[in-house]
Chains A and B, each alone.
Chain A
């Protein structure tokens, strides 16, 4: 069983919709991450939060907006996405920003119509 929980598991949305992905961990970790994974490829880092503050943004388009309401929760707000944004979105956490290993959730599979 994964200790990082992501909802929803699947999401289909149109290009004009607004939706949010949610991630929760109860391991007391203080660093949380968003990754994007295309089929048959390794995950690509999008954002890093450390102690609830955005620490790293890997030049992600503004149509992706992360939020960390508290140390256990991480959201990814989506707006005006493009078909090429269809992918598996993975959340991960670690003890702190320099700490390894990272623990991953099962992801949200996103399809943009």
Chain B
């Protein structure tokens, strides 16, 4: 079945550091890919998405590119802030399907 694997955390960074969270997936066909972020005490917010190969999703300085050849959707940000401290979930959904398969989540802490 479909699955998502993302890098183990926790990840601790200093402000203005570069952030990468690796995400790889297993799926048949052409799934849509997502990054969700969960700030402390809140629900999940959609951070960015990509629906086909080579699409780049971007939002709030974060970027991820849908790489079909490597089945990856790595999240990157060039200069993190304390406010980026959160849990980040990579997720996929098969085409035209309600199912949303999540990775285990990566906790990111940014120190001032």
Q: Specify which of A88, A92, A100 lies most central, judged by the most chain B CB atoms within 10 Å of its CB.
A: A100
B24 within 8 A of A: no
Docked-complex contact B98 and A97, CB < 8 angstroms: yes
- For A72-113 the 0/1 string (1 means CB < 8 A from B) is 000000000000000010101010011011111111000000
Chain A residues, Cβ within 8 Å of B107: 40
How many A-B residue pairs have C-beta atoms within 8 angstroms? Tell me. 55
Q: Which of B36, B43, B104 contacts A105 (CB 8 A)?
A: B43
Given A56-B98, A101-B34, A90 and B44 contact (CB-CB distance below 8 Å): yes
- CA of A53 to CA of B46 in the docked complex: distance in angstroms? 26
B77 within 8 A of A: no
Give, as a whole number of angstroms, the nearest-CB distance from B44 to chain A: 4
Docked-complex contact B43 and A31, CB < 8 angstroms: no
Q: Which of A42, A48, A104 contacts B103 (CB 8 A)?
A: A42
| CB within 8 Å of A: which B53-112 residues | 87, 89, 93, 96-100, 102-105, 107
A-B contact sample (16 more), CB < 8 A, given A6-B43, A48-B98: A2-B45, A4-B43, A31-B98, A40-B107, A43-B102, A90-B44, A94-B98, A98-B96, A100-B93, A101-B49, A102-B46, A103-B46, A104-B43, A104-B45, A106-B42, A107-B42
